[in-house]
Amino acid sequence: MQHLFRWVFLAVFLLINIGHGVFAAQRNEEPEIQTQELVGNVVSVNQEASSFDLEYERDDSSHQKQIATFFVTDISTIDIAMSQGNLSDLKPGLKVLVEFAPMPDGTNVVESVWVKKS
C-alpha cells in the first residue's frame, strides 16, 4: 500500500508541475499591451466607424508627418474644456492628446482624448 501511495503522489506531483509549466507558457505568449500617447491634429471623424484620423509628427530625426486612425469604444473618454465629450465633438483641426492601446491586429484603441488649448 505504501508503494502505491508513492506512485500516486509522484504522478500527482508531475501532473501539477507539467500543468503549471503549460499555463505559464500560455501567459508568456500573450503580449502585454502598453498604452502610448500622441499629440496631433484631428484630420477627419468617421461616426459610422467610431473612429478619427490624427495627423502627428514622428518622434525621430525626420519629423515626418503621418496620419493614424484611432477607434473610440464605449469605455473611451473624450475631455473637452474639462467636460466629458463624445466623438461628434471632435472636429478637423482640433489639437488633441490621445492615449491609446495599439492592438496586435494593428488597430489603435482610444483610452482617452484631451483637447489641447490652442
Per-residue pLDDT tens digits for 45-95: 999 999 999 999 988 888 899 999 999 999 999 998 888 999 999 999 999
What DSSP state is assigned to residue 81?
T
**What is the reported pLDDT for 30?**
60
Nearest residue to 38 via CA among 99, 116, 104: 99
pTM of the model: 0.71
Task: Confirm or reject CATH 1.10.10.60 for domain 36-115, answering yes or no.
Answer: no
Longest dimension (CA), the chain: 82
Q: Please check whether residue 77 is in contact with residue 84, taking contact to mean a CB–CB distance below 8 angstroms.
A: yes
Helix (H) or strand (E) holding 25: helix 2-29
Percentage of the residues of the chain whose pLDDT score is greater than 70: 72
